[in-house]
Structure 1
Amino acid sequence: MPRTRHQNESLGRLLYETGWDHGQFTRAINAAGTRAGLSLHYENSSVSHWLNDGTVPRRRTQELILDVLSTRLRRPVTVAEAGFGEPQLDGEATDLVTGLMDLARADMDPSRRSVLGAGLYSAAMVSVPGWQDAVGRIDMIKTNPHTRIGQREVQSVIAMTEMVSSIDDQQGGRFARPMAANFLVNAIGPYLKADATDEVRKAMLSAAADHCYLTGYMAMDERLDGLANRYYVKALELARLAGDELTFCTTLRGMSVMHGDLGDGSTAIRLAQSASAASPQAGPRMRAFLAGQEAHAAAITGDRSLALLRIKQAEAAMEKAESQAKALGSYDPSSLHYHVSQVRYELGDMSGAIESMQQSHQIREPVFRRTRVRYGAMLAERKFKAGRLDEACMDWHRVLDEYQLVQSGRVDDRIHEMQTLIMPHIRNLLARELHDRARSMTA
């Protein structure tokens, strides 16, 4: 093990904050190692060495320590905060970048594994400011990894992520995710390996974390939940290295959404609560964003009191947020009405669930086509279950009007569910027309 000259007071402060003794700390590290496929046998004396005589843990152990501390303290703990030095592109960060690029390469469409500027990018990237210059910079970095990057490269990653997110909103994750994965391999990877000041490196890690989160979200949209989880874990690691609480808690919330969709309420609520705890300084819109998901997760588990408490907190936070500046794409009243609908549905209030989903539908910004189609199908399903077959069929027809413009596994699921639900009612003229139309689109 490498050694330093000084005691690690930073790690000592974090350990004190956890409330653990040395034995509890090492047991948590050993357990984390077991989950990662490692056989570790750290004892109390190991912690004493780390704290008192300047011993620095191996890079893999550092990663486990940071994960354990982040989980216990419910916030991202960085390499520097734990007294292990600033993140460098060796050891932990190198392993992370390599793992991220391996993941993205495996996710890329094999026919699209080409340099930037070719097929996949030629039309889309022209809308990103300064993209042609960025292509030249990336090629330079690939040739000379010691090329220094700056805020210009960080901004190019942010702009690309925003563009891919816009495409995802309109057309779904199946279309946009290959582009995001390609960008991870061909641009973000080289940027993370390039020389940079500490400020720029942290900004790039943060931008990469946000892009990785989006890629995971698109994988979830395609119902590739295992792949989504791997992207989410990478996003958490990048956010932790960057000290980016916003992306860290947003990713935890995204993982909660995924588990909620899978019906795993206990994991969904645990992740939602961790997300809320990881962002103590969040503004009102972010608090609403987190509380809305926690309310939904609580309702899935049947915890009525907690679900209603959190949805009231989300409503109060949203009221405060709406009195301030608004940003397109952020959590808004339409999203809150969706969460109210989900809570009411899980708690057995079908009429209230339909009313809230209709309110969400009426005020949603028109740019969010994928959400409009998916939630429109959910609204039709609830009307159907409430015995309102004719209304449900009309809503489903509106969904089909845009269905072929959206490439989304979760939307496909809703169309298949529609076909299953209406089959027993095929003698009804509206149901038969709907069934025949859907079948012609999905054959």
Structure 2
Amino acid sequence: MTSPNTSLTDWLERSGMSNKELAQRVRATAKVWGQPHIQTDGTAVRRWVAGLRPRTPVPDILADVFSAHFGFRVTTYDLGLGLGLGDSSGAGRSLAYHRSFPATVETVADLGRADVDRRNFLAVAPFAAVAAIGPSRDWLLNTLDQQAKSGPRVRLEDVTAVRNMFGEFQRMDVLQGGGSGRLILAEYMNQHVYPLLRRTHSEDVRHALCEAAAEQTYLLGWMAYDNGEHGIAQRYLVQSLRLAEESGNAALGAHVLAGMADQATLLGNPAEGRRLAQAGRAGLGRNTSHACLADLWALEARALAKLGEASEAARAVVRSETAFSRVRADDEAEWAVFIDSAYLHGEHANTFGDLGDADAAEKHARLSIDHARRQRRARRGAMSQAALAVSHLQRGDLEAGHAAGLRTLSLSRQVRSSRCIEAVRDLRRRLRPFGDHRLVADFTERSRGLVGAA
């Protein structure tokens, strides 16, 4: 037996709409969403008010109708139509790559709201290994079909404000780790960015807003990824990819695919990581972002190393370095700032470490460490110190490995990053073959607090 939906009743009364009028607006909006088969009537509205939950995507369409009426964001949760706390279908919906732009806006906005509210169904949402196949294919096909657009960048006041905030949050992530400020960014997106997407704009303005929103949504996903929240991260990245397509910015979409490739490889699916990196390169086009191209090659190299393809991995590293040599900072977007020597040499160090080439790994790790130290980037420094420690341990140099491991610990404590903690865990595993040596016991003891807190 269902209970009356008092939330929907309240919003309906506030709007002043009759059941029949609401039904008419639902039908009209459904057509915009590409769902002309939805033929709601006043009787259906009465049933919803009585407690019957409408079928998907009607709850999202209702949220769209009320949001348009009031001029501010109204979610399915506000209407009493949000998914139950244990319902995993909400998490699945946010993995969908919607062809309808309004559906995309509603999905990413609900994802942000559920994230901030710490909804249980989202917190336990798993990473889906094959979920990127459809989105990456659709993005690539649609991007290749698009014609490059010329003309000056749109610099609206509200878009500029969003971009300024992006720079601040990106610096926070780089310097302090993904666990710092992510929920603050999510709240900012819910209150100030996603509502902008629902307004009516000229085509150029809409593209600019979608581009800014895609950048921020990607950053949300990346921060969740760095904080070890992989299910949430994957969902933000999928929606960011769709927004990037809507913006017409192929380089930004390729950048999102790079993040998806990195995550797939990290979570034990390097074949998928390689495919995503290749899709990003295919859609990137020539001379659009050498930094992004360098990143995609670096991530493909890491995937190839995990797959045991040593010669192909080494060639991918060379191609990454060649692309990076062509980077001109003034020609790159702000999101590409972090794709620098500290980052790329760190990735190459891990690639060669996975291949067992300790000399090459040490060379790249030291270059990364030097750049990270000058920039005071503790997270990158910690991860590259860990790569350096691995290169020493692969040679059997326990003393040097222990020293680099302690530097890894020191830097990891300065940030909130699950990747740094995982690097420490990896060092603990690599020290086990050295038995009960005093340096092994020392590192294990010193790292216990950091690993235990995680």
TM range (shorter): 0.5 to 0.7
Q: Distance in 1 between matches of 2:432 and 2:309?
A: 34
2:245 match: 240
2:167 to 162, 166, 175: 162
1:173 to 162, 178, 197: 178
1:393 match: 402
2:370 match: 362
Identify which range, 298-307 or 251-260, moves more after superposition. 298-307
**Residue correspondence of structure 1 range 2-17 to structure 2 within 5 A:** none
| Pair 1:407 & 2:416 matched | yes
1:269 match: 274
Identity of aligned residues (%): 26
- Cα deviation, 1:21-67, whole Å, max 9, x if unaligned, reads xxxxxxxxxxxxxxxxxxxxxxxxxxxxxxxxxxx997269xxxxxx
2:290 match: 284
1:304 to 305, 310, 321: 310
Identify which range, 254-263 or 396-405, moves more after superposition. 396-405
- Cα deviation, 1:54-82, whole Å, max 9, x if unaligned, reads xx997269xxxxxxxxxxxxxxxxxxxxx
Find the residue that maps to 1:321 and give its secondary structure: coil
| Pair 1:340 & 2:348 matched | yes
Note the residue ranges of structure 1 that are not aligned, 5 or more in a row.
1-55, 62-88, 112-148
1:182 match: 187
Shift of 1:320: 2.8
Shift of 1:270: 0.6
In 1, are the aligned partners of 2:343 and 2:380 still within 8 Å (CA)? Answer: no
1:351 match: 359
Find the residue that maps to 2:181 and give its secondary structure: helix
2:325 to 319, 338, 346: 319
- Cα deviation, 1:261-292, whole Å, max 9, x if unaligned, reads 11211101110000001111324333222222
Shift of 1:373: 1.6
Find the residue that maps to 1:181 and give its secondary structure: helix
RMSD (Å) for aligned C-alpha atoms? 3.0
In 1, are the aligned partners of 2:290 and 2:327 still within 8 Å (CA)? Answer: yes
Which amino acid is the alignment partner of residue 363 of structure 1?
Answer: H
Q: Distance in 1 between matches of 2:175 and 2:309?
A: 35
Query: In the superposition, relative to structure 1, how do residues 235 and 393 fare at CA in structure 2: closer, same or farther (>3 Å)?
Result: same
Identify which range, 283-292 or 414-423, moves more after superposition. 414-423
Query: In the superposition, relative to structure 1, how do residues 259 and 442 fare at CA in structure 2: closer, same or farther (>3 Å)?
Result: closer
Query: In the superposition, relative to structure 1, how do residues 258 and 390 fare at CA in structure 2: closer, same or farther (>3 Å)?
Result: same
Note the residue ranges of structure 2 that are not aligned, 5 or more in a row.
1-30, 37-66, 69-98, 120-153
The number of residue pairs the alignment matches comes to: 324
Q: Distance in 2 between matches of 1:207 and 1:178?
A: 18
Query: In the superposition, relative to structure 1, how do residues 433 and 307 fare at CA in structure 2: closer, same or farther (>3 Å)?
Result: closer
1:102 match: 110
1:210 match: 215
Which amino acid is the alignment partner of residue 304 of structure 1?
Answer: A
Q: Distance in 2 between matches of 1:239 and 1:284?
A: 18
Shift of 1:109: 5.4
Shift of 1:424: 6.3
Query: In the superposition, relative to structure 1, how do residues 435 and 345 fare at CA in structure 2: closer, same or farther (>3 Å)?
Result: closer
1:5 match: none
- Cα deviation, 1:100-132, whole Å, max 9, x if unaligned, reads 111111211569xxxxxxxxxxxxxxxxxxxxx
1:380 to 363, 384, 389: 389
Query: In the superposition, relative to structure 1, how do residues 177 and 376 fare at CA in structure 2: closer, same or farther (>3 Å)?
Result: same
2:50 match: none
Query: In the superposition, relative to structure 1, how do residues 155 and 57 fare at CA in structure 2: closer, same or farther (>3 Å)?
Result: closer
Query: In the superposition, relative to structure 1, how do residues 178 and 301 fare at CA in structure 2: closer, same or farther (>3 Å)?
Result: same
In 2, are the aligned partners of 1:220 and 1:258 still within 8 Å (CA)? Answer: yes
TM-score, normalized by length of structure 1? 0.66
In 1, are the aligned partners of 2:346 and 2:380 still within 8 Å (CA)? Answer: no
- Cα deviation, 1:283-337, whole Å, max 9, x if unaligned, reads 4333222222222222322333432332222222222336987888342233332
In 1, are the aligned partners of 2:304 and 2:312 still within 8 Å (CA)? Answer: yes
